[in-house]
């Protein structure tokens, strides 16, 4: 079986690709563990200075794997993504929603395809923010805008993401990864010890320590499991906010 996370080096840049394209790169326990191990190795690898995170097959990351969540296996997942000492860039394409949006927020910079969609879609299924999004989002875009996205779970276009400070760059369709690599290359050219110190001081000033709360695992085992089961029954699929009934089957003859 292929690895759920694939890596490649381009000069001083490490490319980290989520590799579950058939699932829009949604995060299950195995993928999350592979990702965290990859990031730990990146931090210790003196041959690379910047990481670019992207999704294989057209989508960055469609959030948590609700099939696995419906089986109440959330305790297998690491809850938080640890800080790295080196810069990271997200190449956002397709869907970066739920935990996928949090992963993009975790990165220092976001290069966003003009057709990409972001949003905290876990709202529909009772899946809490678990990867620092509750601290990072208001720091990036302000409390009022952050609460709008957190409380409504609505989709955010690339254009709006740039306007509110969620995206650093919006680029033409199909160019996000290349543009992210170019940006990472520009960062890698600088003296890294000073750059890493300034980056770390800035992030610590904004985000402080671990923002996540202990009760999130309890929420996962309660609301989120039930929400995931509703999703599997058809409720809330395809962006629907009708959370009471699954979509009616079409009666039209083909």
DSSP code per residue over 78-96? ---PPP-SS-EEEEE-SEE
Rg (CA), the chain: 18
Element (H, E) at 25: none
Sign of torsion, CA 227 229 231 234? negative
- Quote the pLDDT of residue 56: 98
Round to whole Å and give the CA distance between 210 and 244: 35
- Quote the pLDDT of residue 126: 81
- Quote the pLDDT of residue 173: 98
- Quote the pLDDT of residue 254: 38
Place of tokens 């678990």: 130
Give the total residue count for the chain: 254
HSE at residue 118, side-chain half, CA atoms within 13 A, is: 32
- Quote the pLDDT of residue 203: 92
Round to whole Å and give the CA distance between 19 and 16: 9
> What is the model's pTM?
0.82
- Quote the pLDDT of residue 253: 44
Listed as ranges, residues in the chain with pLDDT below 70 are: 1, 72-79, 209-254
Task: Write down all domains in the chain, each with its CATH number in brackets.
Answer: 5-207 (3.90.226.10)
- Quote the pLDDT of residue 237: 58
Round to whole Å and give the CA distance between 13 and 187: 10
- Quote the pLDDT of residue 131: 79
């Amino acid at each position: 079986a292929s690895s759920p996370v694939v890596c490649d080096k381009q000069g001083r840049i490490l490319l980290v690709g989520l590799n579950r394209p058939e699932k829009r790169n949604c995060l299950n326990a195995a993928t999350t563990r592979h990702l965290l191990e990859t990031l730990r190795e990146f931090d210790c690898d003196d041959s690379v200075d910047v990481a670019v995170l992207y999704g294989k097959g057209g989508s960055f990351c469609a959030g948590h794997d609700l099939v696995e969540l419906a089986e109440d296996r959330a305790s297998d997942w690491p809850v938080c993504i640890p800080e790295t000492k080196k810069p990271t860039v997200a190449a956002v394409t397709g869907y970066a929603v739920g935990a996928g949006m949090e992963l993009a927020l975790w990165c220092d910079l976001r290069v966003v395809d003009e057709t990409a969609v972001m949003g905290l879609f876990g709202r529909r299924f009772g899946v809490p923010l678990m990867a620092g999004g509750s601290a990072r989002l208001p720091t990036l875009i302000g409390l009022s805008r952050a609460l709008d996205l957190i409380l409504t779970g609505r989709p955010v276009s690339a254009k709006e993401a740039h306007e509110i400070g969620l995206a650093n760059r919006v680029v033409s369709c199909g160019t996000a990864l290349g543009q992210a690599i170019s940006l990472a290359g520009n960062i890698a050219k600088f003296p890294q010890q000073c750059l890493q110190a300034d980056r770390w001081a800035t992030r610590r000033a904004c985000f402080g320590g671990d923002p996540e709360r202990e009760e999130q695992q309890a929420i996962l085992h309660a609301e989120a499991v039930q929400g995931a089961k509703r999703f599997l029954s058809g409720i809330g699929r395809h962006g629907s906010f009708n959370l009471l009934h699954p979509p009616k089957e079409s009666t039209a003859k083909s």
